[in-house]
């Protein structure tokens, strides 16, 4: 079994995230070490190589994927740390009968576009200005081919096609995708119930690193196995759930399958694992604490602000879409959202339920106000990608005017958020702790699989 504490004690002490170029340079350097096999099974949309690193032999095949989403940089450091330990012959990892497969950076284009915030001290404003995340139908982890019910998705993006090749070649028993969140509590998605013994190890690890846990129900997960531990989330399960209330779930599901659903065509017993945890944290409002504001008024004001924001963005999109750079990496996710926004604005009206619901005619809770702030903030992050698309387009008078108007509006909304005490109360978690949380939780799962295989 792997001594998790000893491995974490050997980790390099990182104080900052690293550029993708450094990670790729490190991987290229491993070609000189015969213990490693380096391949590039595919490239990103912009032509950057996507590497597949293999190390060691054994019955247990493990695949670890860094940067499944470009706005989740912890995995880049976790991969760098793991490869460093393997290169150094870390005794706690060697001799365990593990065949390691590692994709250091699955989304190199987006990871590089996010470096405006990842390579500097964290701030919410900088995160917004350099946010990059594709919409689900163009996302690495939700564009795998699937034919199920009325779903027939067969348009994987370049990064997904590269990962498909890795999955077919490695056929791992464990698929560990290195996710992290911006805020919230840590939680775990597991392919099957591992048992309380291993969950207690998750909790002990997170507690020792000062990492808060998510303890509420996770809506998309079908099962709750323990505190903060839930079943894996699959597109087929989502389809079946929606099928109970509608005849055609593809009205809402526009994306493809997840990596493990594709992997199970080649290894039906493959286990999936995700550990989600924040890289900034805060002290939540006290339970039941009031804000002094009327909740119905908050809800209606929030809806009006959202209508206004979307109407301006869609209006500017209609004016300049003929001048926009369709080859820009920002184009697909901006363009993909516009039809839905047009439909939303066409049907927009204040809900009669909100106007008549007397349960909303009460003092709002601080926690509700905080959730509203975060919802608006992530809306701003998505919409700032339109600003970046305009920056990346030919600077016609219309494009310049649209960029100026939208940027000014988004900054006004952001400035309003910064006046909220709860929004400015976040603190960054030390990066070294983030790497330990991610690698440590993965090693706990690997130990569970080693124990299972050895009876």
Domains of the chain: 4-282+429-453 (3.40.630.10), 290-418 (no CATH)
Contact 274, 156 (CB under 8 A): no
CA nearest 187: which of 172, 203, 198? 203
Distances (CA, A) of 291 to 285, 372, 373, 421: 10, 13, 13, 11
pTM: 0.94
Q: For residue 174, give the 3-state DSSP assignment.
A: strand
Q: For residue 401, give the 3-state DSSP assignment.
A: helix
Reading the chain (455 residues) residue by residue, the pLDDT tens digits are 999 999 999 999 999 999 999 999 999 999 999 999 999 999 999 999 999 999 999 999 999 999 999 999 999 999 999 999 999 999 999 889 999 999 999 999 999 999 999 999 999 999 999 999 998 889 999 999 999 999 999 999 999 999 999 999 999 999 999 999 999 999 999 999 999 999 999 999 999 999 999 988 898 899 999 999 999 999 999 999 999 999 999 988 989 999 999 999 999 999 999 999 999 998 776 777 888 889 989 988 998 999 999 999 999 999 999 999 999 999 998 998 898 888 878 877 655 567 777 888 888 998 888 889 999 999 999 999 999 999 999 999 999 999 999 999 999 999 999 888 667 778 899 999 999 999 999 999 999 999 988 76
- Tell me the two tokens of residue 154: 């067969």
CA nearest 187: which of 213, 226, 168? 213
Distance from C-alpha of 451 to C-alpha of 455, rounded to nearest angstrom: 6
């Amino acid at each position: 079994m792997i001594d998790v504490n000893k491995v974490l004690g050997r980790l390099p002490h990182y104080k900052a995230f690293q550029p993708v170029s450094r990670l790729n340079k490190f991987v290229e350097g491993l070609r000189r070490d015969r213990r490693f096999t380096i391949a590039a099974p595919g490239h990103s949309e912009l032509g950057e190589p996507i590497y597949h690193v293999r190390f060691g032999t054994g019955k247990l095949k493990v695949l670890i994927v860094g940067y499944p989403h470009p706005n989740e940089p912890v995995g880049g450091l976790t991969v760098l740390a793991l490869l460093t330990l393997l290169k150094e012959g870390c005794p706690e990892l060697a001799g365990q009968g593990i065949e390691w497969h590692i994709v250091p950076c699955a989304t190199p284009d987006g990871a590089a576009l996010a470096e405006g915030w990842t390579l500097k001290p964290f701030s919410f404003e900088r995160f917004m200005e350099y946010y990059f995340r594709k919409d689900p139908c163009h996302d690495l982890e939700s564009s795998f081919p699937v034919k199920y019910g009325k779903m027939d998705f067969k348009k994987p993006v370049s990064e997904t096609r590269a990962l498909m090749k890795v999955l077919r070649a490695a056929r791992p028993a464990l698929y560990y995708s290195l996710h992290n969140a911006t805020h919230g509590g840590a939680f775990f998605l597991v392919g099957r119930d591992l048992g309380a013994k291993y969950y207690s190890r998750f909790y002990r690890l997170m507690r020792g690193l000062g990492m808060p846990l998510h303890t509420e129900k996770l809506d998309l997960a079908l099962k709750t196995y323990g505190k903060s531990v839930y079943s894996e989330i699959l597109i087929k399960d989502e389809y079946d759930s929606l099928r109970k209330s509608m005849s055609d779930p593809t009205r809402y599901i526009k994306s493809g399958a997840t990596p493990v659903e594709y992997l199970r065509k080649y290894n039906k017993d493959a286990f999936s694992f995700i550990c989600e945890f924040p890289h900034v944290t805060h002290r939540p409002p006290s339970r039941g604490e009031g804000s002094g504001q009327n909740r119905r008024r908050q809800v209606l004001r929030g809806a009006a602000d959202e209508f206004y924001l979307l109407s301006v963005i869609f209006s500017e999109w209609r004016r300049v879409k003929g001048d926009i750079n369709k080859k820009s990496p920002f184009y697909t996710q901006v363009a993909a959202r516009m039809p839905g926004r047009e439909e939303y604005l066409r049907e927009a009206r204040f809900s009669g339920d909100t106007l008549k619901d007397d349960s909303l005619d009460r003092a709002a809770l601080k926690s509700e106000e905080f959730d509203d702030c975060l919802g608006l903030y992530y809306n701003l992050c998505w919409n700032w990608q339109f600003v970046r698309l305009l920056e990346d387009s030919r600077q016609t008078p219309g494009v310049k005017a649209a960029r100026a108007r939208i940027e000014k509006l988004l900054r006004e909304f952001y400035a309003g958020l910064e006046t909220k005490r709860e929004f400015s109360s976040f603190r960054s978690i030390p990066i070294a702790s983030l790497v330990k949380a991610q690698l440590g939780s993965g090693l706990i799962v690997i130990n569970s699989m080693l124990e299972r295989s050895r009876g």
